[in-house]
Structure 1
Amino acid sequence: MHELIALDWGTSSLRAARIAADGTVLDEHHSPEGILNVAAGAFPAVFAAAVERWQPAPGALCLAGGMVGSRQGWREAPYCPCPSGFADLVGRITWVPDAPGGLRLGLVPGLQAEAHGVPDVMRGEETQIVGALDLLGLDDGLFVLPGTHSKWARVRGRRIEGFSTFMTGEVYALLRRHSILARTLPPEDGPLDEAAFLRGVGHARQAGSLLHAAFSARTLALFGQLDAGALPSYLSGLVIGEELRSQALPTGQEVVLIGAPALTARYQLALRSLGVPARTAGDHATWHGLWTLARTLESPR
């Protein structure tokens, strides 16, 4: 396998990396040119600007994951149905035939699952899961990817069997900024108050419904039982606690967390309070995932 140019091209940002044949990240850079910030017809120019510093030769392999393969992106990469493994994802890569510089550019497909007759999708997280599996040497597991839209994915035999999406981060932002609670909460979140956060996690489980539990962020402040500065941590605990309450958490099975360190630390804290062990895969799972897919693509079959 030769060097790889990898792109994590999301909604609001673009990350690019040059990765050695052995998986070492040699260089990387970020830009705010996520797909929503790219003008119509400008994807080739943005891509060329992102990779020009490495002067890749014609035919060099480039893999891009994330929302660049959505209908709003450069070119749609149709979803790959679950269950899917490394080879399934590689087999459904959408190639861009007119990529600048004659580069061999492939768009990694997202995944589609279905539960109760309703479809669910992910784009980008599948690459992180691939990276985490390879980094940690795992074949099976429960993977949690916190964020605006948190994902819970079940893996067996290195195949993603299914997943569920929870709008935890988005609901937090809506309650935080656009509900009656916003009048009580301070302007900034501030550092995590672990006691308040865990109180929120616990109350979410006891209340049995976020629609009921959320109002406690107002009443606890109203009756002086929680300082205003602790309220963002408490509310964060409520929404994350609601997400955990809805899961059939495994007894004794370790959960793997993938995402930003500050956010995965909150999930690790919440899970620990419920007696569930968890570890993190690190924030470089995306690069390792794209490298693993490139290695799968170029390996003899």
Structure 2
Amino acid sequence: MPRPLVGVDWGTSSLRVARIAVDGQALEARELPRGILTVPAGGFAAVLQAACAGWLDAPAPLVLMCGMVGSRQGWLEVPYARCPAGFEALVAGLAWPEPGRMAIVPGLRCENAGVPDVMRGEETKAFGVLRVLGLDQARVLMPGTHAKLATLADGRLQGFATCMTGEAYALLRQHSILARTLPAQDGPLHEPAFLRGLDIAHAGRGLLHAAFSARTLALFGQLDEAQGPSFLSGLLIGEELRERALQPAGPPLVLVGADALTRRYALALAHLGLPAQTAGQEATWCGLRAIADAWEAARP
């Protein structure tokens, strides 16, 4: 019988924990606003203990953590494993704040045109997607502050590329001249405005030029203030998808991430004629279960 497992997805701004069943499903899950930047020096063990109250008693589970908890600002800096990487590389790279009981999954690094790229946490989610959907290969698109597109085949994550889509949206939304024509709150998605931004981005004029259209369209009364955030979101997501040059042919394309953002990407991909499947946030728990199983299998 596999050892009981507690999974931890510890990011910059939030902490998610779950008791994970043998099939990778969460038996019980909790989410707290205790990202790594809120934890004082030397305080990670206490925050984890509080988050997992009642779960860490005998029989002692394996606690497997992923995400920014393994970064320089986290509990313990864990060296990146190199792509292509499979479960054996992730298991070999585990770092143990508490040997035999608590481990942190290493992030991954790759190179694109000689420039390094990195991820922490998304590797676990990407492997979990394969298990959730029963796939042996996939292109996994993970929207977010730093959106990732990972390619998986032959049991390995072959490579990936990061786009700072969410962060660029926040910067333009809050700290550029565009902020003066946008409402204080984003409000609900306005699909026509979103798709209009998407189409302008895909016309290929480049973001530095296209972004100014959010101001000029509003200036001449062709874009309502309330539609501005949706239009800008369409521009940024459209630019990301244009740069990625995705094609319908190839391994299945899977979206996984927060529901609201994933729905925007699904709308954009459908508009561009790119079929995509979706997987929920439970992919992280399935990924941690798969890594734990690989660790158990590798033990002497």
TM range (shorter): over 0.9
Deviations 1:32-66 (A, max 9, x none): 22111010111121122222322432653110000
Structure 2 residue identity aligned to 1:221: A
Structure 1 residue identity aligned to 2:286: H
4+ runs deviating over 4 angstroms: none
Matched, 1:232 2:233: no
Q: Secondary structure at the match of 2:7?
A: strand
Q: Which residue is equivalent to 2:55?
A: 54
Deviations 1:240-268 (A, max 9, x none): 00001111212334410010111111111
Q: Which residue is equivalent to 2:87?
A: 86
Distance in 1, Cα, partners of 2:157 & 2:249: 21
Q: Which residue is equivalent to 1:290?
A: 288
Q: Which residue is equivalent to 2:264?
A: 266
1:154 alignment partner, one of 146, 151, 171: 151
Q: Given the two structures, how large is their TM-score scaled by the length of structure 2?
A: 0.95
Distance in 2, Cα, partners of 1:300 & 1:228: 57
Q: Which residue is equivalent to 1:257?
A: 255
Q: Percent identity?
A: 58
Q: CA deviation at 1:20?
A: 2.3
Q: CA deviation at 1:270?
A: 0.8
Q: Secondary structure at the match of 1:48?
A: helix
Q: Which residue is equivalent to 1:41?
A: 42
Q: CA deviation at 1:300?
A: 5.7
Matched, 1:142 2:139: yes
Where do residues 60-79 of structure 1 align in structure 2 (5 Å cutoff)? 60-79=61-80
- Cα distance, 1:23–1:280 mapped onto 2, change above 3 Å: same
- Cα distance, 1:151–1:24 mapped onto 2, change above 3 Å: closer
Q: CA deviation at 1:152?
A: 0.8
Q: Secondary structure at the match of 2:78?
A: coil
Distance in 1, Cα, partners of 2:60 & 2:280: 31
Matched, 1:32 2:30: no
Q: Given the two structures, how large is their TM-score scaled by the length of structure 1?
A: 0.95
Structure 2 residue identity aligned to 1:34: G
1:255, 1:277 within 8 Å by CA — same for their partners in 2?
yes
Structure 2 residue identity aligned to 1:215: F
Distance in 2, Cα, partners of 1:79 & 1:113: 9
Structure 2 residue identity aligned to 1:49: A
Q: Secondary structure at the match of 1:217?
A: helix
2:248, 2:275 within 8 Å by CA — same for their partners in 1?
no
Distance in 2, Cα, partners of 1:251 & 1:279: 12
Structure 2 residue identity aligned to 1:9: W
Where do residues 57-206 of structure 1 align in structure 2 (5 Å cutoff)? 57=58, 59-97=60-98, 104-206=101-203
Q: Which residue is equivalent to 1:241?
A: 238
Q: CA deviation at 1:23?
A: 2.7
RMSD across aligned positions (CA): 1.5
Can you give the 5+ residue segments of structure 1 that lack an aligned partner in the other structure? none
